[in-house]
Amino acid sequence: MSSTTEAVLRRQDPGGDRSDPGPDHHPVAGSRMTPGRGGLLRRRRTRLLGLLLLVGLVVVAATLSIAIGSRSIGLGTVWEALTDPGVPTEESVIVRELRVPRTVLGIMVGLALGIAGALAQGHTRNPLGDPGLLGVTAGASLGVVLAIYLLGVGTPAGYVWFAFAGALLGTVLVFTLGSAGRGGATPVTLALAGAALSALFYALVRAILVSDTDSLDAFRFWVVGALSGRGADVAWQVAPFIVVGLLLALVNAPALDLLGLGEDVARGLGQRVWLARLVGLASVTLLCGAATAACGPIAFVGLVVPHVVRAFTGPAHRWLIPCSGLLGAALLLVADVIGRVVVRPGELQVGIVLALIGAPFFIALIRRRRLAGP
């Protein structure tokens, strides 16, 4: 890659050093090459504090998610229901059978989406590098529509495998096509291949939905993205994939930091570039595919969370990735709780709440902080 193109890409790079004007803003890891010890300690303390804060946030959000709903349950009752295996009361059944599985699923999906977003932005080096743009959402949508149209599947638990297969197909195709050109996979070809393939998949989805009203009737409730109506069985179905995806993401973090220096430099430092890309893409596929399979497409978490987290972790992925996961989980739970409260006794789906609350917040953040501009 010539130096000019590198410079152009840098301009689009969210993980670049622009969001962090501090003294130790090297894209790899400030701490290793920092000029002064004061900056190093401050940065590390901020990150640790942030991490702890996020863990606390997830705990609080999970508690709220178990306690609040169309029927509010006091914290004492919640505790009893969770610890006392005695005679099941109405409340304890609600807590154990409905609220806890839903909360666990929310945490898993939020973790998965936040981390998948951080990985996707790192690998495409594009601030729009939402997992959706790598073909996951489009593939999953196609899988679900085909399942509805051809096989008459009609429940969230029934959609899971089809959505997952579609997501897998989508990402594999995007990665294959994006790296098939003479130069291999670059951030731009990956992003464009993702956009083009999504266009193709959505064309098929639309062709079916326009001609078959029954499919549209089922699909329109899947596509908003919701945690409601998914029991513990859905959580168990996707859990193994999310666990493997999380492990791969953690393994991928140091390599991603090296890739941030440019592929040539990374190669010179002994990084096997294709392997790093493969692990990253596999992780994104597993995480985002599983999340989408469980809940339907939830667009905003993977996009916003890494931008927010980067404001205090800086661009180092070994901090960015875990923190993005935690914030994603907290965000999803809070949005789900809000969705249960605003239109009682009905519910607003979590995907819609996230977009309507998350987007203005994101815009405010963009305007306040210097996320943009050199």
Residues of this chain that interact with other proteins (CB under 8 A) are 1, 4-6, 8-9, 11-12, 126-128, 130, 133, 177-178, 180-184, 186-189, 191-193, 195-197, 199-200, 202-204, 206-207, 209-211, 213, 216-217, 220-221, 223-224, 299-300, 303-304, 307, 348-349, 351-352, 354-356, 358-360, 362-363, 366-367, 371-373
Asked if residues 306 and 14 have their Cβ atoms less than 8 Å apart, the reply is: yes
Least distance in Å: CB of 224 to other proteins? 5
Asked if residues 295 and 144 have their Cβ atoms less than 8 Å apart, the reply is: no
Least distance in Å: CB of 360 to other proteins? 8
**Minimal CA–CA distance to 333: which of 117, 78, 138, 113?**
113
Asked if residues 301 and 117 have their Cβ atoms less than 8 Å apart, the reply is: yes
CA atoms of 24 and 29, how far apart (whole Å) = 8
Least distance in Å: CB of 191 to other proteins? 6
CA atoms of 319 and 324, how far apart (whole Å) = 8
What secondary structure letter does DSSP report for 88?
P
- Nearer CB in complex with other proteins: 81/142: 142
Angle, helices 187-211/100-124, rounded to nearest 10 degrees = 130
113's tokens: 């989406």
What is the per-residue DSSP string for 263-292? HHHHHHTT--HHHHHHHHHHHHHHHHHHHH
- Nearer CB in complex with other proteins: 89/155: 155
Least distance in Å: CB of 284 to other proteins? 17
- Nearer CB in complex with other proteins: 53/192: 192
Backbone φ, ψ for residue 228 (5° rounding): -75, 150
Asked if residues 259 and 276 have their Cβ atoms less than 8 Å apart, the reply is: yes
Backbone φ, ψ for residue 54 (5° rounding): -65, -40
Least distance in Å: CB of 367 to other proteins? 7
- Nearer CB in complex with other proteins: 197/242: 197
- Nearer CB in complex with other proteins: 259/299: 299
Least distance in Å: CB of 50 to other proteins? 22
What secondary structure letter does DSSP report for 98?
I
Least distance in Å: CB of 374 to other proteins? 9
- Nearer CB in complex with other proteins: 134/256: 134
- Nearer CB in complex with other proteins: 11/344: 11
- Nearer CB in complex with other proteins: 89/176: 176
CB proximity list for 181: less than 8 A, separation 6 or greater: 189
- Nearer CB in complex with other proteins: 245/351: 351
Sign of CA dihedral 139, 160, 154, 298: negative
CB proximity list for 176: less than 8 A, separation 6 or greater: none
Least distance in Å: CB of 239 to other proteins? 27
Cis, bond preceding 101 (omega within 30 deg of 0): no
Least distance in Å: CB of 240 to other proteins? 30
Phi-psi region of 367 (alpha: psi -120 to 50; beta: other; left: phi over 0): alpha
Q: Is 192 exposed, middle or buried (0-12, 13-18, 19+ CB in 10 A)?
A: middle
Least distance in Å: CB of 2 to other proteins? 8
- Nearer CB in complex with other proteins: 123/307: 307
